[in-house]
A and B are shown apart, each in its own frame.
Chain A
Amino acid sequence: MQKPSHKSRRLGDAVFRGLTLLAALVMVGLIVVIAIQLIKGSQLAFTRFGPGFVTGSRWDPVHGNFGSLPLVYGTVVSSLIALIIAVPLSLGIAIYLAELAPQWVRTPVSFLVELLAAIPSVVYGLWGIFVLVPWVRTVLEPFLQKTLGWLPFFQGTYYGFGMLAAGIILAIMIIPTISAVSREVLLAVPVSQREAMLALGATRWETIKMAVLPYGRSGILGAVILGLGRAIGETMAVTMVIGNRPQISPSVFELAQTIASIIANEFSEAFDDLHLSALVMAGLVLFIVTLLLNIIARLLVWRIDRVPEGMSRE
């Protein structure tokens, strides 16, 4: 009696282990399928345009001419605007929640900031169209033109829709990511660092500036890059407010287009195979860029976790 039960137990263990291994392999297979699909799908556009695809400055489906520079430009600039707005704010939030806020404030406020991340992208877009864009058109853009109109960034007619609105909405959407990760990083800084500074007579701000922030520097940079990755791949909200015109203009009032938004816009009604292939290739570029950003961010955030207790860094 002993022997068979023993055997079946071994078998059970092997089956169970095999099952979990199989599931893990599905994950590996998935990324392979994603890569193959994107490469295969962009074959046609690649043979036609080659690396010139990234530098070509005209996106013209009607004449079968596809250069993705306007899309890359739109993606980069809208994400930069988002970072310019979101990084200082997120750092402020992280410092406030990790260092300054009284205990009873921390949990509810962290929860509210996380709530921002829970709202679906398409709802941001809806709010963007009917609340943010009118405000940008009637308040923000006239103000910017009046005060900073001598800069090339704030010239031309304003529509409300466009690069600026997209940047603002992206900023709102990446604040939870950057602030939450930065807060974790700051909380991981050993208390001894702060105590040493305070014992030397530093004020709270000096403690944060000289002991806490330098210690968490690489982690915070990782948080920012994570936010950038999110901004670059964000689709729906951007599509709904950016105006969807692939062009390069120095003015942030102008309509623009990002890689993600053009895919959302044109994929289901592509003219022909070449158009479809060009969109997939744009997707491939997006995939590679977000992949690299995420890898860099992970490495930076991981590093902070690995710094041994009490070790300071200059």
Chain B
Amino acid sequence: MIAGRNERRKFMSSLMFVLALGATVLALVPLGSILLYVATRGLMALNWDFFTQLPKPVGEPGGGLANAIVGTLILVGLASIMGIPLGILTGIYLSEFGRGRLAWLVRFICDVMTGVPSIIVGIVVYGTIVLAMKRFSAIAGGVALAIIMLPLVTRTTEEMLKLVPNSLREASLALGASQWRTTYSIVLRSAMGGIITGSLLAVARVAGETAPLLFTALNSRYWYSGLDQRIASLPVYIYTYATTPYEEMHRLAWGAALVLVAMVLVTSIAARLAGRRVGGGR
């Protein structure tokens, strides 16, 4: 009687083990499928022209997405110039000075902002910058991406700075260093690895963002022609080309997806390595 019950309990335990393992394997199936398709179909689309030529008009074969690759780099660069320093400064405020209600509010907003759908950011930047400039522009796209980066960089900076032991701060201050010197040369430097990791992850995250670019940077068939002009980007090209009925454009969309995924993954892996090297050494 008791033996039978124990058998059942053991069976139940093994069954749940198998189910949990099964869930894990099942969840990795789409990942495998996506990476496989992006790699194979993407590789078929990539050639010299893809990296050097402008897109051709509908119906004409060939052409490339060189302008979109450059455009994505410019947009992400713009976003980083604005988002990363601002995020690091805010993170310093939260970790080193932030007490009381304002700090609580900023932390709270930061958490909430990471959950705001990116398309909302697109609407807001359209309503402020695009309408004011009366045109779609690279700068509007960059600002939209920077807004998405900001909370991500802030949170990691704060967390990394908080890991720095207080004894280091005290030692520096006791030696007569001023507070900003302490923060800059001691605290920030000890946490540099983690901050670089966080910033690179934020870069990887916004590089693939499409929704906030749809009505800010829009798209362009030409090369970059100024910060106040519309600009091409890989994600927007993937979206537009995937939703057309043309075979040739589908091919280019897969090529663009491969380049984009490669960029994102390389950045993510670099982020991890940076964190390990600098962070571990100190």
Residues of A within 8 A of B (CB): 9-10, 12-13, 15-17, 19-24, 26-28, 30-31, 33-34, 37-38, 40-41, 88-93, 95-97, 100-101, 109, 112-113, 115-116, 118-127, 129-131, 172, 175, 179, 203-206, 208, 226, 229-230, 232-236, 240, 260, 263-264, 267-268, 279-280, 283, 286-287, 290-291, 293-295, 297-298
Measured between beta carbons, the chain A residues less than 8 angstroms from B13 are: 203-206
Measured between beta carbons, the chain A residues less than 8 angstroms from B215 are: 267-268
User: Is B225 positioned at the interface, with any CB of A under 8 Å from its CB?
Assistant: no
Residues of B within 8 A of A (CB): 9-10, 12-13, 15-17, 19-24, 26-28, 30-31, 33-34, 37-38, 41, 86-87, 89-90, 92-94, 96-98, 102-103, 105-106, 109-124, 126-128, 147, 150-151, 154, 178-181, 183-184, 204-205, 207-211, 214-215, 218, 235, 238-239, 242-243, 250, 253-254, 257, 260-261, 264-265, 268
Measured between beta carbons, the chain B residues less than 8 angstroms from A88 are: 23
Measured between beta carbons, the chain A residues less than 8 angstroms from B214 are: 264, 267-268
A291 pairs with B116, CB closer than 8 A: yes
Given contacts A38-B124, A95-B20, contact A233 B116 (CB under 8 A): yes
Q: Which of A24, A38, A295 contacts B98 (CB 8 A)?
A: A24
Q: Can you list 26 A-B pairs with a CB-CB distance of less than 8 A?
A: A9-B178, A13-B178, A24-B94, A26-B86, A34-B124, A38-B123, A38-B124, A89-B23, A92-B20, A96-B23, A120-B261, A121-B208, A122-B208, A122-B210, A123-B38, A126-B238, A130-B41, A229-B115, A233-B120, A235-B117, A235-B118, A240-B242, A267-B215, A283-B119, A286-B117, A294-B114
Could you say which of B19, B120, B257 has the most chain A C-beta atoms within 10 Å of its C-beta?
B120
B211 pairs with A23, CB closer than 8 A: no
Measured between beta carbons, the chain A residues less than 8 angstroms from B105 are: 28
Q: Which residue of A lies closest to B238 (CB)?
A: A122
